[in-house]
Structure 1
Amino acid sequence: MKLLQALFFPPEQPGGVSSMIPYLQDRFRPPHWEMELFSIPKRIRNKGSDQVQFHTFDWREFEESPVVQKYVQTYRDYLWWTRLRIQKNYDLIHAHHPIAGLAMKEVFPETPVIQSIHSSYERELILNGRIKENGPEHRFLTSIYKELEHKTDRLYTVSRSFREYLSPYVDYPENIGVIPNGFDEKRFKPVPHENEVAQLVTVCRLVPAKGIDILLQACAELKARGQSYVLHIIGDGPIRQELEGMAQRLGIYEDTIFYGYTLHPEEFMPFFDIFVLPSRAEAFGSVFAEAALCSLTLVGSEVGGIAEQIVSGSNGLLVPPENPVALADALEKVIVDPAYRYELARSGSDHAKNHYSLNRVVHELKKLYLQFDR
């Protein structure tokens, strides 16, 4: 069976898709399976010129928005790149971005296309202050979900909560399947260690949606209570300078290390103690599963896919979003009680291995793909 995994970003880019899809190739080998990956390079800009028409809505209602214009042009570019680069037929295409799914079905209308939706671009833009809720961009981007339902052969997402999020925007939400991301355990090697001062770590793109401002306020509260810690922030983004300034104003800059972007944070994540990320929204939150497989204690906000990964008090701690004092309370619990911290970390690691292993995902995908084997 000839399979194509259609990504948007190249697979070396950080994120949930890139943490799973490239590792699938070793599990889908000849003679029965042939799998290839496809994505559009970042350098491709303004190449496509197709007339764009969607079947379920008229996108021209929103065409005055620069965000919509950029999205449609990116779709045109993906169409152009697909026609230029793909010269063979596949038995099945699995798309991992809405633009990829729509383009693949346009170019290969007779080929079955499975669409996985891994995150919400519109929600990220709203939380990052780029667009307004119920504005033209929001309405355009949520209309894409019904178009995907209409054009592709099967819709999947990564968590039950994200399926609920998608439900108002499609006609048949009950038909959306859920396949959480999977992770190759061989990439994660827990290291026994004993840090005299608790080492906190977070890994994310530095944008408002990730709630790092809440984390900095919580850490300032910890310092006011006399708790010792070091906070390691791995990642980069448009608000890094703002966050560094905030750390200075809160008096915690000396206790905080900004690393910038790192390609493989899982290589040194095992040397920390507590993974913390108070996101304002997460469709799944792959980095929590990765941190759990590194045997770190998990502390996260009770939103989206994070709340599906963590049973608070059992394999990590959940706190309400937008609540730095509650976050400080949770962090203090695991800072002052190493035994409790280790207990949560062991339970978190076991849970991640049982629910988010790559073997489990491969088993589910093979069953799914064989339904289209002709």
Structure 2
Amino acid sequence: MSGETGAAPLRILHVFRAPLGGLFRHVVDLANGQADRGHHVGIFCDSSTGGTRADALFAELAPRLTLGVTRVPMSRYPSPTDLRAQIAAIATRRCLAPQIVHAHGSKGGLYARLPALFSPKRNFTTAYTPHGGSFNYRPGSRAHRLYMAVERLLEPATDMFLFESAFIAGRFEASIGHPPRSAHRIVLNGISEAEFAPIDHGGATFDLLYLGELRSAKGVDTLVEALALLRQEAGLTPSILIVGSGPDEALLREMAAARGIAAQCTFEPPGPIRAALTRARLMVLPSRAESLPYVVLEAAAAAQPLIATDVGGIKEIYGPEKAHRLIPPDEPRILAQAIRGVLATPEQERRAQAAGLAAHVRAHFSLDAMVEGVLGGYRSALAQRGLGPAPLSRA
């Protein structure tokens, strides 16, 4: 029985590349929420990334997914493997016969929407959530021009754009040159009530925590430079736990050694965020590009003292009254000053600031609202294609 009164269960296939990071978290939350409401859900994604953590999450999730989990090799960048993955995506869709094919990220958007481009009378509806993806490339760069050309090509094959932040909706309009011609909604990422339980830092052994991918867009090199400045100019040596993986890990380790701060840095593979939050007094997110990052939502909800950069949709998480706390990206000296200032702030004051941000997140970023908003978008898109009844309500 669907959680939407009087509405028939939907058959939904989520298509994306890597079972990593915030995009994967978003899909898992949606899939669970949709299954809870009686819908038939499946996943199609990459088999070569995610490691043991993704395997464990899929093992837990799979019994709830009546359309199953299909994994095939996919590459991050354009590659000859794309053709094989595209053929597998088409075969999976034909076998499962979903009413909704929901694409996530650039690669998922390609695999889900390219066949739809050549099927104007198709009997399924396409939805697309960018999660930053192509829209986070530097405007005007060669890569950005290429990916925007692909986005323009695939726009007619998209029945519903479900932007996870106002920032990405704005980037679409700025990059493509017009608002989406198809139906579109902003459905903010949301988190569960359980994630608002405050973190106990009584056993914290690190001063700082970074949690996320180890690649250029995340700005971890800026954090390494900031720590080197604190050591050289103020004699401060805060310890940092770096939790994550990615293509720049070896480079960042070498950089930390070259800057003389290797002894302060502990690298660990990806793991549950709340377990990591208990181990450090302050979380630092020095990103150069983001959409609406779950890691910030989760840390803020748990009342974790936090330093973050003013990029992407992070300002939406902080809200107009707290956005002044954000700092510019690519500024190691400003980041060093922010770290020094927060660590010197009395603990009670740090906790009060963190609690205020948690209250704002609780009021604006609900998991139930996210799930219902996405389902409402599906219903609207189905009705517009003549494949289902009119939506029950507009979320």
Give the structure-2-normalised TM-score: 0.76
2:307 maps to amino acid = V
Change in 2 beyond 3 A, CA 1:8/1:24: closer
2:151 maps to amino acid = Y
Change in 2 beyond 3 A, CA 1:254/1:91: same
SS at match of 2:25: coil
Which residue among 141, 156, 160 is the counterpart of 2:162?
A: 156
Cross-structure match for 1:14: 20
RMSD of aligned residue pairs (Cα, Å): 3.0
Which residue among 91, 113, 123 is the counterpart of 1:102?
A: 113
Q: Deviations over 1:235-278 (max 9, x none)?
A: 1222222222222232222111111x224233332332211111
Q: Retained in 1: the 8 A contact 2:10–2:39? A: yes
Cross-structure match for 2:373: 364
Q: Distance in 1 between matches of 2:177 and 2:134?
A: 20
**How far did 1:194 drift?**
3.5
Pairwise mapping of residues 128-139 of structure 1 onto structure 2 (< 5 A)? 133-135=140-142, 137-139=143-145
Cross-structure match for 2:127: 114
Q: Deviations over 1:87-121 (max 9, x none)?
A: 13222222213223314625872311111111224
**How far did 1:347 drift?**
1.7
Q: Distance in 2 between matches of 1:45 and 1:152?
A: 24
Q: Retained in 1: the 8 A contact 2:204–2:281? A: no
SS at match of 1:229: coil
Q: Retained in 1: the 8 A contact 2:287–2:309? A: yes
The answer to whether residue 92 in structure 2 is matched with residue 81 in structure 1 is: no
SS at match of 1:156: strand
Which residue among 146, 155, 158 is the counterpart of 2:152?
A: 146
Cross-structure match for 1:333: 341
Cross-structure match for 1:288: 296
**How far did 1:146 drift?**
1.4
Q: Retained in 2: the 8 A contact 1:204–1:235? A: yes
Q: Retained in 2: the 8 A contact 1:276–1:300? A: yes
**How far did 1:2 drift?**
2.0
Cross-structure match for 1:33: 39
2:123 maps to amino acid = E
Q: Deviations over 1:41-69 (max 9, x none)?
A: 338459xxxxxxxxxxxxxxxxxxx965x
Cross-structure match for 2:227: 219
The answer to whether residue 268 in structure 2 is matched with residue 255 in structure 1 is: no
**How far did 1:25 drift?**
3.3
Q: Retained in 1: the 8 A contact 2:113–2:126? A: no
The answer to whether residue 217 in structure 2 is matched with residue 206 in structure 1 is: no
Which residue among 266, 275, 294 is the counterpart of 1:267?
A: 275
Cross-structure match for 1:245: 254
2:83 maps to amino acid = R
How many equivalent pairs are there?
342
Cross-structure match for 1:60: none
Change in 2 beyond 3 A, CA 1:35/1:350: same
Note the residue ranges of structure 2 that are not aligned, 5 or more in a row: 1-8, 49-70, 383-387, 390-395
SS at match of 1:321: coil
Q: Retained in 1: the 8 A contact 2:204–2:280? A: no
Which residue among 326, 334, 355 is the counterpart of 2:364?
A: 355
Q: Distance in 1 between matches of 2:35 and 2:73?
A: 34
Note the residue ranges of structure 1 that are not aligned, 5 or more in a row: 47-65, 127-131
Q: Retained in 1: the 8 A contact 2:45–2:72? A: no
Cross-structure match for 2:309: 301
Q: Retained in 2: the 8 A contact 1:244–1:253? A: yes
Q: Retained in 1: the 8 A contact 2:204–2:279? A: no
Q: Distance in 2 between matches of 1:145 and 1:317?
A: 34
1:166 maps to amino acid = F
Cross-structure match for 1:236: 245
Change in 2 beyond 3 A, CA 1:174/1:152: closer
**How far did 1:78 drift?**
3.0
Cross-structure match for 2:191: 183
Q: Deviations over 1:292-344 (max 9, x none)?
A: 12321121111111222225883883111111111112112211112221122
Q: Distance in 1 between matches of 2:321 and 2:259?
A: 29
Change in 2 beyond 3 A, CA 1:317/1:295: same
Q: Distance in 2 between matches of 1:23 and 1:285?
A: 14
Overall identity of the aligned pairs, in %: 23
Q: Retained in 2: the 8 A contact 1:40–1:81? A: no
SS at match of 1:17: helix
